Amino acid sequence: MTERCDLLITNVHAATMDPSLPGAYGAIEDAAVAVTGNRIVWIGPRRELPETAADQIVDGEGQWLTPGLIDCHTHLVYGGHRAGEFARRLGGESYEDLARAGGGILSTVRSTRAASAADLYRSAEPRLKALIREGVTTVEIKSGYGLDLDTELKQLRVARRLAQHHPVNVTTTCLAAHALPPEYDGRADDYIALVCDEILPAVAKEQLADAVDMFCENIAFSVEQCQRVIDAAHRLDLPVKVHAEQLASTGATRMAARASALSVDHIEYITDEDVAAMAESGTAAVLLPGAFYTLKETRVPPVDKLRAAGVPMAISTDLNPGTCPIASLRLMMNMSCNLFGLTPAEALAGVTRAAARALGICCSRGVLRAGLRADMVLWPMESPDQLAYELGALQPADVFFGGRHVTAG
Protein backbone atom coordinates (compact mmCIF):
# COMPACT_ATOMS: atom_id res chain seq x y z
CA MET A 1 0.00 0.00 0.00
CA THR A 2 1.15 3.55 -0.67
CA GLU A 3 1.56 5.94 2.26
CA ARG A 4 -1.61 7.81 1.40
CA CYS A 5 -5.13 6.54 0.68
CA ASP A 6 -8.46 8.24 -0.03
CA LEU A 7 -10.53 6.54 2.67
CA LEU A 8 -9.59 4.67 5.82
CA ILE A 9 -12.21 2.79 7.85
CA THR A 10 -11.07 1.68 11.29
CA ASN A 11 -12.66 0.22 14.42
CA VAL A 12 -14.82 -2.24 12.45
CA HIS A 13 -15.23 -5.98 12.29
CA ALA A 14 -15.11 -7.21 8.70
CA ALA A 15 -17.16 -10.15 7.40
CA THR A 16 -14.92 -10.36 4.34
CA MET A 17 -16.57 -13.52 2.88
CA ASP A 18 -13.06 -14.34 1.64
CA PRO A 19 -12.88 -18.16 1.52
CA SER A 20 -9.10 -18.07 2.01
CA LEU A 21 -9.62 -16.71 5.55
CA PRO A 22 -10.77 -18.95 8.41
CA GLY A 23 -14.40 -19.14 9.55
CA ALA A 24 -17.69 -19.09 7.66
CA TYR A 25 -17.61 -15.29 7.28
CA GLY A 26 -13.86 -14.91 6.75
CA ALA A 27 -14.14 -12.51 9.69
CA ILE A 28 -11.44 -10.07 10.76
CA GLU A 29 -12.21 -8.62 14.19
CA ASP A 30 -11.01 -5.08 14.91
CA ALA A 31 -10.11 -4.52 11.28
CA ALA A 32 -9.04 -1.58 9.13
CA VAL A 33 -9.81 -1.05 5.44
CA ALA A 34 -7.97 1.37 3.16
CA VAL A 35 -9.45 2.51 -0.16
CA THR A 36 -7.90 4.43 -3.04
CA GLY A 37 -10.06 5.37 -6.01
CA ASN A 38 -12.77 2.74 -6.22
CA ARG A 39 -10.62 -0.15 -4.96
CA ILE A 40 -9.74 -1.67 -1.60
CA VAL A 41 -5.95 -1.34 -1.29
CA TRP A 42 -5.50 -2.87 2.15
CA ILE A 43 -7.62 -4.86 4.61
CA GLY A 44 -6.52 -6.68 7.75
CA PRO A 45 -6.31 -6.47 11.53
CA ARG A 46 -5.99 -2.82 12.59
CA ARG A 47 -2.84 -3.55 14.60
CA GLU A 48 -1.11 -4.63 11.37
CA LEU A 49 -2.13 -1.51 9.39
CA PRO A 50 0.99 0.11 7.88
CA GLU A 51 1.56 3.75 8.70
CA THR A 52 -0.69 5.64 6.31
CA ALA A 53 -2.36 9.01 5.84
CA ALA A 54 -5.93 9.24 4.59
CA ASP A 55 -8.00 12.04 3.09
CA GLN A 56 -11.04 10.75 4.98
CA ILE A 57 -11.15 8.59 8.10
CA VAL A 58 -14.35 6.80 9.14
CA ASP A 59 -14.73 5.41 12.67
CA GLY A 60 -16.79 2.23 12.28
CA GLU A 61 -17.74 2.34 15.98
CA GLY A 62 -17.33 -1.41 16.38
CA GLN A 63 -19.97 -2.21 13.73
CA TRP A 64 -19.68 -4.90 11.03
CA LEU A 65 -18.57 -4.27 7.46
CA THR A 66 -19.69 -6.64 4.67
CA PRO A 67 -19.30 -6.64 0.89
CA GLY A 68 -22.10 -4.74 -0.88
CA LEU A 69 -24.99 -7.11 -1.48
CA ILE A 70 -25.56 -8.52 -4.99
CA ASP A 71 -29.03 -9.39 -6.32
CA CYS A 72 -28.06 -11.66 -9.21
CA HIS A 73 -31.48 -12.50 -10.75
CA THR A 74 -34.19 -9.87 -11.23
CA HIS A 75 -36.82 -8.95 -13.77
CA LEU A 76 -37.42 -5.53 -12.22
CA VAL A 77 -38.11 -3.56 -15.43
CA TYR A 78 -41.70 -4.33 -16.45
CA GLY A 79 -45.05 -2.71 -17.12
CA GLY A 80 -48.21 -3.15 -15.02
CA HIS A 81 -48.73 -5.55 -12.14
CA ARG A 82 -50.46 -8.89 -11.56
CA ALA A 83 -52.34 -8.43 -8.31
CA GLY A 84 -55.48 -9.86 -9.97
CA GLU A 85 -53.61 -13.04 -10.80
CA PHE A 86 -52.41 -13.22 -7.19
CA ALA A 87 -56.05 -13.29 -6.12
CA ARG A 88 -56.88 -16.01 -8.68
CA ARG A 89 -54.01 -18.17 -7.47
CA LEU A 90 -55.28 -17.77 -3.91
CA GLY A 91 -58.61 -19.01 -5.29
CA GLY A 92 -56.96 -22.24 -6.42
CA GLU A 93 -55.72 -21.69 -10.02
CA SER A 94 -52.12 -22.76 -10.66
CA TYR A 95 -49.30 -20.76 -12.27
CA GLU A 96 -49.39 -23.16 -15.24
CA ASP A 97 -53.21 -22.77 -15.59
CA LEU A 98 -52.87 -18.99 -15.69
CA ALA A 99 -49.96 -19.13 -18.15
CA ARG A 100 -51.90 -21.44 -20.50
CA ALA A 101 -54.91 -19.09 -20.32
CA GLY A 102 -52.84 -16.15 -21.61
CA GLY A 103 -52.13 -14.67 -18.18
CA GLY A 104 -48.84 -14.99 -16.40
CA ILE A 105 -45.83 -13.74 -18.31
CA LEU A 106 -47.92 -12.82 -21.37
CA SER A 107 -50.05 -10.34 -19.45
CA THR A 108 -46.86 -8.55 -18.39
CA VAL A 109 -45.66 -8.71 -22.01
CA ARG A 110 -48.78 -6.78 -23.11
CA SER A 111 -48.21 -4.11 -20.40
CA THR A 112 -44.49 -3.83 -21.14
CA ARG A 113 -44.98 -3.48 -24.89
CA ALA A 114 -47.57 -0.74 -24.26
CA ALA A 115 -45.35 1.21 -21.82
CA SER A 116 -42.96 3.92 -22.96
CA ALA A 117 -39.30 3.75 -21.91
CA ALA A 118 -40.01 6.65 -19.53
CA ASP A 119 -42.94 4.73 -17.99
CA LEU A 120 -40.78 1.64 -17.52
CA TYR A 121 -38.02 3.71 -15.91
CA ARG A 122 -40.49 5.40 -13.51
CA SER A 123 -42.06 2.11 -12.41
CA ALA A 124 -38.73 0.27 -12.03
CA GLU A 125 -37.00 3.00 -10.01
CA PRO A 126 -38.80 2.42 -6.67
CA ARG A 127 -38.01 -1.32 -6.89
CA LEU A 128 -34.34 -0.59 -7.48
CA LYS A 129 -34.27 1.99 -4.68
CA ALA A 130 -35.82 -0.53 -2.25
CA LEU A 131 -32.92 -2.89 -2.98
CA ILE A 132 -30.33 -0.12 -2.67
CA ARG A 133 -31.73 0.91 0.73
CA GLU A 134 -31.02 -2.64 1.94
CA GLY A 135 -27.34 -2.45 1.02
CA VAL A 136 -27.52 -3.84 -2.53
CA THR A 137 -24.72 -2.39 -4.70
CA THR A 138 -25.00 -4.72 -7.73
CA VAL A 139 -28.21 -5.83 -9.46
CA GLU A 140 -28.74 -8.03 -12.48
CA ILE A 141 -31.75 -7.01 -14.61
CA LYS A 142 -33.23 -9.23 -17.31
CA SER A 143 -35.34 -8.37 -20.31
CA GLY A 144 -37.94 -10.95 -21.38
CA TYR A 145 -41.22 -9.05 -21.21
CA GLY A 146 -40.86 -7.74 -24.75
CA LEU A 147 -40.49 -10.91 -26.82
CA ASP A 148 -40.03 -8.69 -29.87
CA LEU A 149 -36.95 -6.81 -30.97
CA ASP A 150 -38.06 -3.27 -30.08
CA THR A 151 -39.39 -4.06 -26.63
CA GLU A 152 -36.44 -6.25 -25.64
CA LEU A 153 -34.10 -3.39 -26.61
CA LYS A 154 -36.33 -0.91 -24.74
CA GLN A 155 -36.18 -2.95 -21.52
CA LEU A 156 -32.41 -3.37 -21.68
CA ARG A 157 -31.83 0.33 -22.40
CA VAL A 158 -33.97 1.25 -19.37
CA ALA A 159 -31.92 -1.16 -17.23
CA ARG A 160 -28.67 0.48 -18.39
CA ARG A 161 -30.12 3.96 -17.77
CA LEU A 162 -31.14 3.07 -14.20
CA ALA A 163 -27.47 2.38 -13.47
CA GLN A 164 -26.44 5.82 -14.70
CA HIS A 165 -28.62 7.59 -12.11
CA HIS A 166 -28.23 5.41 -9.01
CA PRO A 167 -25.31 4.20 -6.84
CA VAL A 168 -25.52 0.65 -8.12
CA ASN A 169 -23.79 -1.54 -10.68
CA VAL A 170 -26.31 -3.03 -13.11
CA THR A 171 -25.52 -6.09 -15.18
CA THR A 172 -28.03 -6.84 -17.91
CA THR A 173 -29.22 -10.14 -19.34
CA CYS A 174 -31.24 -10.73 -22.50
CA LEU A 175 -34.07 -13.17 -21.73
CA ALA A 176 -35.86 -13.00 -25.08
CA ALA A 177 -36.44 -16.78 -24.79
CA HIS A 178 -38.70 -16.28 -21.77
CA ALA A 179 -42.09 -17.21 -23.26
CA LEU A 180 -43.67 -17.69 -26.67
CA PRO A 181 -45.25 -14.43 -27.83
CA PRO A 182 -48.91 -14.77 -28.92
CA GLU A 183 -48.13 -13.85 -32.55
CA TYR A 184 -45.91 -16.98 -32.73
CA ASP A 185 -48.53 -19.33 -31.23
CA GLY A 186 -47.79 -22.86 -32.45
CA ARG A 187 -44.51 -21.73 -34.06
CA ALA A 188 -41.99 -21.92 -31.22
CA ASP A 189 -39.13 -22.90 -33.54
CA ASP A 190 -39.76 -19.82 -35.68
CA TYR A 191 -39.67 -17.61 -32.57
CA ILE A 192 -36.37 -19.20 -31.46
CA ALA A 193 -35.02 -18.37 -34.94
CA LEU A 194 -36.05 -14.73 -34.41
CA VAL A 195 -34.26 -14.71 -31.03
CA CYS A 196 -31.09 -16.26 -32.45
CA ASP A 197 -30.93 -14.46 -35.80
CA GLU A 198 -32.28 -10.99 -35.00
CA ILE A 199 -32.82 -10.17 -31.33
CA LEU A 200 -29.52 -11.43 -29.87
CA PRO A 201 -27.32 -9.96 -32.65
CA ALA A 202 -29.05 -6.56 -32.28
CA VAL A 203 -28.65 -6.65 -28.50
CA ALA A 204 -24.98 -7.58 -28.86
CA LYS A 205 -24.36 -4.87 -31.45
CA GLU A 206 -25.63 -2.21 -29.02
CA GLN A 207 -23.73 -3.92 -26.16
CA LEU A 208 -26.94 -4.03 -24.15
CA ALA A 209 -26.44 -7.43 -22.50
CA ASP A 210 -23.73 -9.01 -20.37
CA ALA A 211 -25.32 -12.47 -20.63
CA VAL A 212 -28.15 -14.43 -22.27
CA ASP A 213 -30.81 -16.31 -20.30
CA MET A 214 -33.65 -18.67 -21.28
CA PHE A 215 -36.66 -20.34 -19.66
CA CYS A 216 -36.27 -24.10 -20.21
CA GLU A 217 -39.46 -25.66 -18.91
CA ASN A 218 -42.48 -27.60 -20.17
CA ILE A 219 -44.55 -24.38 -20.22
CA ALA A 220 -41.74 -22.51 -22.04
CA PHE A 221 -38.95 -23.80 -24.32
CA SER A 222 -37.48 -27.29 -24.80
CA VAL A 223 -33.88 -28.33 -24.21
CA GLU A 224 -33.34 -28.49 -27.99
CA GLN A 225 -34.68 -24.96 -28.51
CA CYS A 226 -32.61 -23.62 -25.60
CA GLN A 227 -29.50 -25.28 -27.05
CA ARG A 228 -30.02 -23.17 -30.19
CA VAL A 229 -30.16 -20.03 -28.02
CA ILE A 230 -26.96 -21.08 -26.24
CA ASP A 231 -25.20 -21.63 -29.56
CA ALA A 232 -26.30 -18.19 -30.79
CA ALA A 233 -25.12 -16.55 -27.55
CA HIS A 234 -21.74 -18.22 -27.80
CA ARG A 235 -21.33 -17.05 -31.41
CA LEU A 236 -21.72 -13.52 -30.01
CA ASP A 237 -19.27 -14.22 -27.15
CA LEU A 238 -21.98 -13.88 -24.52
CA PRO A 239 -22.11 -16.22 -21.49
CA VAL A 240 -25.38 -17.97 -20.66
CA LYS A 241 -27.64 -18.60 -17.68
CA VAL A 242 -30.70 -20.87 -17.59
CA HIS A 243 -34.04 -20.81 -15.71
CA ALA A 244 -34.01 -24.56 -15.15
CA GLU A 245 -36.04 -27.27 -13.48
CA GLN A 246 -38.32 -25.02 -11.42
CA LEU A 247 -41.45 -27.04 -12.18
CA ALA A 248 -40.16 -30.39 -13.48
CA SER A 249 -36.97 -32.32 -14.28
CA THR A 250 -36.09 -31.62 -17.93
CA GLY A 251 -32.34 -32.08 -18.49
CA ALA A 252 -31.86 -28.30 -18.69
CA THR A 253 -29.20 -28.26 -15.98
CA ARG A 254 -26.96 -30.76 -17.74
CA MET A 255 -27.36 -28.80 -20.98
CA ALA A 256 -26.34 -25.64 -19.10
CA ALA A 257 -23.36 -27.34 -17.48
CA ARG A 258 -22.15 -28.60 -20.88
CA ALA A 259 -22.31 -24.97 -22.06
CA SER A 260 -20.27 -23.78 -19.02
CA ALA A 261 -23.24 -21.63 -17.99
CA LEU A 262 -22.58 -19.01 -15.32
CA SER A 263 -25.60 -20.26 -13.37
CA VAL A 264 -28.69 -22.39 -13.37
CA ASP A 265 -31.55 -20.77 -11.52
CA HIS A 266 -34.47 -22.25 -9.49
CA ILE A 267 -33.43 -25.96 -9.81
CA GLU A 268 -35.95 -27.42 -7.36
CA TYR A 269 -36.15 -30.58 -9.52
CA ILE A 270 -32.48 -31.31 -10.29
CA THR A 271 -31.06 -34.81 -9.92
CA ASP A 272 -27.80 -36.12 -8.42
CA GLU A 273 -26.29 -36.25 -11.93
CA ASP A 274 -27.22 -32.59 -12.44
CA VAL A 275 -25.43 -31.60 -9.22
CA ALA A 276 -22.33 -33.51 -10.33
CA ALA A 277 -22.43 -31.81 -13.74
CA MET A 278 -22.65 -28.36 -12.09
CA ALA A 279 -19.71 -29.12 -9.79
CA GLU A 280 -17.69 -30.27 -12.81
CA SER A 281 -18.46 -27.18 -14.93
CA GLY A 282 -18.22 -24.60 -12.12
CA THR A 283 -21.79 -23.48 -12.74
CA ALA A 284 -23.38 -21.67 -9.78
CA ALA A 285 -26.81 -22.52 -8.37
CA VAL A 286 -29.15 -19.53 -7.96
CA LEU A 287 -31.80 -20.29 -5.34
CA LEU A 288 -34.98 -18.23 -5.49
CA PRO A 289 -36.92 -18.83 -2.27
CA GLY A 290 -39.36 -15.97 -2.92
CA ALA A 291 -40.75 -17.67 -6.05
CA PHE A 292 -40.89 -20.99 -4.19
CA TYR A 293 -42.82 -19.27 -1.40
CA THR A 294 -45.19 -17.35 -3.70
CA LEU A 295 -46.07 -20.45 -5.73
CA LYS A 296 -46.47 -22.47 -2.52
CA GLU A 297 -44.10 -25.07 -3.92
CA THR A 298 -43.23 -28.05 -1.76
CA ARG A 299 -40.14 -29.43 -3.49
CA VAL A 300 -37.00 -27.72 -2.19
CA PRO A 301 -33.68 -27.56 -4.07
CA PRO A 302 -31.21 -30.27 -2.91
CA VAL A 303 -29.15 -27.93 -0.73
CA ASP A 304 -27.32 -30.72 1.14
CA LYS A 305 -26.13 -32.22 -2.15
CA LEU A 306 -25.11 -28.85 -3.61
CA ARG A 307 -23.19 -28.07 -0.41
CA ALA A 308 -21.47 -31.47 -0.38
CA ALA A 309 -20.47 -31.07 -4.04
CA GLY A 310 -19.07 -27.57 -3.42
CA VAL A 311 -21.46 -25.87 -5.86
CA PRO A 312 -21.67 -22.11 -5.07
CA MET A 313 -25.22 -21.31 -3.88
CA ALA A 314 -26.38 -17.78 -4.70
CA ILE A 315 -29.63 -16.33 -3.32
CA SER A 316 -31.71 -13.82 -5.24
CA THR A 317 -35.11 -12.13 -5.26
CA ASP A 318 -36.20 -13.12 -8.80
CA LEU A 319 -38.01 -9.76 -8.45
CA ASN A 320 -40.85 -9.99 -10.99
CA PRO A 321 -44.58 -9.20 -11.14
CA GLY A 322 -45.85 -12.79 -11.13
CA THR A 323 -43.91 -15.10 -8.87
CA CYS A 324 -41.99 -12.72 -6.58
CA PRO A 325 -43.12 -9.08 -6.39
CA ILE A 326 -40.88 -8.64 -3.33
CA ALA A 327 -38.03 -6.11 -3.52
CA SER A 328 -36.14 -7.41 -0.49
CA LEU A 329 -32.94 -9.42 -0.79
CA ARG A 330 -32.68 -9.54 3.02
CA LEU A 331 -36.06 -11.32 3.18
CA MET A 332 -34.71 -13.83 0.65
CA MET A 333 -31.71 -14.46 2.94
CA ASN A 334 -34.13 -15.20 5.77
CA MET A 335 -36.29 -17.43 3.53
CA SER A 336 -33.24 -19.32 2.26
CA CYS A 337 -32.51 -20.32 5.87
CA ASN A 338 -36.08 -21.05 6.95
CA LEU A 339 -37.35 -22.69 3.74
CA PHE A 340 -34.21 -24.23 2.20
CA GLY A 341 -31.98 -24.92 5.22
CA LEU A 342 -29.04 -22.63 4.50
CA THR A 343 -26.96 -21.35 7.41
CA PRO A 344 -26.90 -17.56 8.02
CA ALA A 345 -23.31 -17.52 6.73
CA GLU A 346 -24.33 -19.39 3.57
CA ALA A 347 -27.14 -16.86 3.11
CA LEU A 348 -24.66 -13.97 3.26
CA ALA A 349 -22.29 -15.81 0.90
CA GLY A 350 -25.32 -16.32 -1.36
CA VAL A 351 -25.83 -12.57 -1.79
CA THR A 352 -22.11 -11.70 -2.03
CA ARG A 353 -19.43 -14.18 -3.12
CA ALA A 354 -21.69 -16.78 -4.75
CA ALA A 355 -23.87 -14.12 -6.41
CA ALA A 356 -20.72 -12.63 -7.96
CA ARG A 357 -19.88 -16.09 -9.31
CA ALA A 358 -23.38 -16.37 -10.81
CA LEU A 359 -22.77 -13.11 -12.69
CA GLY A 360 -19.19 -13.85 -13.74
CA ILE A 361 -17.88 -10.85 -11.77
CA CYS A 362 -16.11 -12.57 -8.89
CA CYS A 363 -12.77 -11.12 -9.95
CA SER A 364 -14.03 -7.67 -8.95
CA ARG A 365 -16.84 -8.01 -6.40
CA GLY A 366 -18.49 -10.15 -3.74
CA VAL A 367 -15.57 -10.30 -1.26
CA LEU A 368 -13.67 -7.70 0.80
CA ARG A 369 -10.10 -8.13 -0.40
CA ALA A 370 -7.30 -5.84 -1.60
CA GLY A 371 -7.65 -5.21 -5.33
CA LEU A 372 -11.44 -5.63 -5.46
CA ARG A 373 -14.03 -2.89 -5.84
CA ALA A 374 -14.80 -1.01 -2.62
CA ASP A 375 -18.56 -1.74 -2.53
CA MET A 376 -19.12 -2.13 1.22
CA VAL A 377 -21.91 -1.88 3.77
CA LEU A 378 -21.55 -0.98 7.45
CA TRP A 379 -24.22 -2.62 9.64
CA PRO A 380 -25.13 -1.71 13.25
CA MET A 381 -25.05 -5.30 14.53
CA GLU A 382 -23.06 -7.45 16.92
CA SER A 383 -22.94 -10.59 14.74
CA PRO A 384 -23.23 -11.13 10.96
CA ASP A 385 -25.75 -13.89 11.77
CA GLN A 386 -28.22 -11.04 12.37
CA LEU A 387 -28.42 -10.24 8.62
CA ALA A 388 -30.46 -13.35 7.81
CA TYR A 389 -32.27 -13.31 11.14
CA GLU A 390 -33.49 -9.77 11.73
CA LEU A 391 -35.67 -7.86 9.26
CA GLY A 392 -37.13 -4.39 9.26
CA ALA A 393 -35.21 -2.64 12.01
CA LEU A 394 -31.68 -3.66 10.99
CA GLN A 395 -30.72 -1.37 8.10
CA PRO A 396 -27.32 -0.26 6.74
CA ALA A 397 -25.64 2.47 8.78
CA ASP A 398 -23.46 3.44 5.81
CA VAL A 399 -22.93 2.27 2.23
CA PHE A 400 -19.71 2.80 0.25
CA PHE A 401 -20.14 2.44 -3.50
CA GLY A 402 -16.81 2.21 -5.30
CA GLY A 403 -15.27 3.81 -2.20
CA ARG A 404 -17.75 6.69 -2.31
CA HIS A 405 -19.88 7.23 0.79
CA VAL A 406 -23.45 7.20 -0.55
CA THR A 407 -25.81 6.94 2.43
CA ALA A 408 -25.80 7.57 6.16
CA GLY A 409 -28.31 5.87 8.41
Contacting residues toward Zn ion, per CB under 5 A: 318
On whether 81 is known to bind a ligand per the annotation, the reply is: no
Nearer to Zn ion, 71 or 318 (CB): 318
Sign of CA dihedral 407, 42, 19, 312: positive
Q: Residues 309, 279: contact at Cβ < 8 Å?
A: yes
**322 marked as binding residue:** yes
- The CB-of-332 to Zn ion minimum distance in angstroms stands at 13
246 a known binding residue?
yes
Pairwise CA distance, residues 286 & 386, whole Å: 22
Tell me the closest approach of the beta carbon of residue 266 to Zn ion, in angstroms.
7
Can you give 242-273 as a three-state secondary structure string? EEECCCCCCCHHHHHHHCCCCEEEECCCCCHH
Confirm whether residue 13 is marked as ligand binding: no
Secondary structure string (H, E, C) spanning 63-78: CEEEECEEECCCCCCC
Nearer to Zn ion, 255 or 264 (CB): 264
Q: What is the dihedral of CA 353, 391, 142, 181, to 10 degrees?
A: 140
Minimum CB separation of residue 286 from Zn ion in Å reads 9
Nearer to Zn ion, 41 or 314 (CB): 314
Nearest distance from C-beta of residue 288 to Zn ion, angstroms: 7
Shortest approach of Zn ion to residue 237 CB, angstroms?
23
SS3 408: strand
Q: For residues 15 and 65, is the Cβ–Cβ distance under 8 A?
A: yes
Minimum gap (Å) between residue 178 Cβ and Zn ion: 8
Closer to Zn ion by Cβ: residue 40 or 124: 124
What amino acid is encoded at 182 in this protein?
P
* Angle at alpha carbon of residue 367, lines to 365 and 372, rounded to 5°: 50
Closest Cα partner for 400 from 31, 67, 32?
67
The span from the CA of 222 to the CA of 113, in Å, is: 25
Task: Name the residue nearer to Zn ion (CB basis): 134 or 318.
Answer: 318
Cα–Cα distance measured from residue 395 to residue 378, given in angstroms and rounded to the nearest whole number: 9
- Please indicate if the annotation marks 166 as binding a ligand: no
Query: Is 178 known to sit in a ligand binding site?
Result: yes
Residue 318 or 398: the one with the smaller Cβ distance to Zn ion is 318
The residue of the chain with the least Cβ separation from Zn ion equals 318
Q: At what angle do helices 105-114 and 149-164 cross, to 10 degrees?
A: 80
Residue 51 Cβ vs Zn ion, minimum distance, rounded to whole Å: 49
Would you say 318 or 375 has its CB closer to Zn ion? 318
> Is 334 assigned to a binding site?
no
145 assigned ligand-binding residue = yes
75 marked among binding-site residues: yes
Could you list the residues known to form a binding site for Zn(2+), using ranges. 73, 75, 243, 318
Could you list the residues known to form a binding site, using ranges. 73, 75, 82, 145, 178, 243, 246, 318, 320, 322-323
Could you list the residues known to form a binding site for Fe(3+), using ranges. 73, 75, 243, 318
Could you list the residues known to form a binding site for N-formimidoyl-L-glutamate, using ranges. 145, 320, 322
Could you list the residues known to form a binding site for 4-imidazolone-5-propanoate, using ranges. 82, 145, 178, 246, 323
